[in-house]
Structure formats: C-alpha cells, structure tokens
Amino acid sequence: MNATFRQLRLFLALVDEGSISRAARACHVTQPTASMQLKELSLSVGLPIYEVIGKTIHLTEIGIELSKTARAMLDEWSAFAQIADGAKGLSRGNLRVAVVSTAKYFIPRMLGAFFQTHPEIDITFDVLNRGGVIQLLRENKVDIAVMSVPPSDLDVEAENFLENPLLAIAPLGHPLAKRRRVPLALFAKESLILREEGSGTRMMADRFFKAQKAKPRVRLSLGSNEAIKQAVAGGLGCAIVSRHALAADPASEQLAILNVEGFPILSQWFIVNLRGKRLSPVASVFRDYLRATSRAMAAGSRA
C-alpha cells in the first residue's frame, strides 16, 4: 500500500471540512487535484474510503479507521519535525488548544504572552462548551485542553494548575447583598440562574447542593456566563459563576458577590490531554508555561 503525506492530509481535510471543494481550499490545491489524490488513496487502500450520499460525505468503516491512522501518523511527524527544529535551535510549530467557555476570561491573556515569546508558533484556539472540548479530545484534534471537570469516560491525564472559585452573585442592591452572612437555605430559595447541565460549573454546583442536602430553586439554565450575568443584573435572580467570569469590580457589571454559607465552592482548572499522547515540544513548553504562570498568579494573590 502506497500513500503519500499529501494524500493523507487531503483525506483529513475532507473529514474535517465535509466536502472535496473545501478540503481542496484548506490544502491550497485545485478541486480536480484533490479529487484525483483522494481517488488514488482509495485505490491504494483497495477499498472505498468514503461515499457521497445526497451531496454529503460519509466515511466508510475502513475510512474511519484510515482517518484515525492518518491523524496519528501526521501528529507523530509534526512532533518529529518540531524536535528536529529544536535540535537546530528553532522554536516553531503548531499548538492546538481548546478551552471551555469560562476559561476564555484568562487563557487568551496567557496565550498572548506565550505568543510574544514564541512568535514562530501557529496557534489554533477553540472556545467551546464542555461537551465540545471533550469531543476534540476524543478525536485527538487538540494538544491541550483546559476545563474544570475532566471527563470520566475518557482516558486522560489531568493536572490541576489554577484555582477556580465559584461565587454566589445577585443584582446590585439585592436584599441578600446587604447581609454580612447569608444562610445556604435562604440562598437556595432564591430564583437561581445556572449554567446548562453538563457544564463544569453546573456539575460543581449540583454536587455542592447535593452534599449540603439543599434543594435549589433553579429558575433558568443558560449556556454562557455573559447571559447569566446579564440576567442577574436585570433582576431575574441570583446565580453561581466562576470568579474568573466576573470583572475585578463586580459592581461595574451591576452585580454583587454574596457571602453565602459554604461559598466559594472550591474548584480547580485542569490541563488535560489524552493519556499516552506524546505532546509535541511546543505543547510541552506551553504546558510548562501554564504551570509557571499559574504559580506566579497564586503568589501574587497571596502577596
């Protein structure tokens, strides 16, 4: 069986893009060239690797297996190329990072500082909900992920590197905001606005209430922190959000942090990657950078 890297890259582009024309554009070749290369790859395999049904690309069983093998091969080659560049004193390569939506409040600043010291690196940065990040991990399409609750149904390595305190908030001027201490039972009776089920913040909040044998009155579930903050500021209820999602001065967002019994809910941010995945030199350097930066942030908060 003879297959070239060019053919494998085109095939993976077809898998990711969903059409031959988009795969051709992604690989900077003409559509006829892409079609010919994909046909030659299928002939080399000896079996159809995809089929077109109603203008939609569907991988065959052997095509699914080929996509896994091709991605692993190209990842290994990319890692080798970065090792070779490092041996020659070069620092370049591709870094693929995916984070859950709450992490977008601090990871981009870390990425910006990292990029300034490593300008030769190309960074792919995805901000998704927890399910989307887990799917990228599952498909081996990301080097490093950042989330607060690592998946339990996927074999991953997870290293906590930064605190993620979850706070109770209310509209500015809310009666509970005037109390020095708010009993948990009283807070649970408020109309609560929480993240959608399956998000890390929601999972931690649900675990907290269950452990405290409290039954929260959930009025609304929303899919973003911004929507939750706007809803709270608008008087729809109280909420639980990450401290990272709030401004340095929550009052500037018309929000007040409540001193609720048992809060903040203690949570952590984790660096996550597939177990056994050999991280590229660039990904390893970025992981070390996250560790060092988080230690500096923790030291600064204690000073």
Return the domain boundaries, the chain.
5-69, 91-163+268-302, 166-258
Would you identify the CATH topology of the domain 166-258? D-Maltodextrin-Binding Protein; domain 2 (3.40.190)
Class of domain 5-69: mainly alpha
- Give the start-end residues of each E strand in 212-296: 217-222, 238-242, 255-258, 268-274
Q: Do domains 5-69 and 91-163+268-302 have the same CATH topology?
A: no
pLDDT at position 4 is: 87
pLDDT at position 280 is: 80
pLDDT at position 56 is: 87
Cβ atoms of 278 and 83 closer than 8 Å: no
Class of domain 91-163+268-302: alpha beta
pTM of the model: 0.71
10-residue averages of pLDDT along the chain (303 residues):
85 91 90 90 90 88 92 81 61 84 92 84 91 93 94 94 95 94 96 95 96 94 95 96 95 96 95 88 88 78 50
pLDDT at position 303 is: 46
Interstrand relation of 255-258 and 238-242 (parallel, antiparallel or unpaired): unpaired
pLDDT at position 151 is: 95
Cβ atoms of 257 and 250 closer than 8 Å: yes
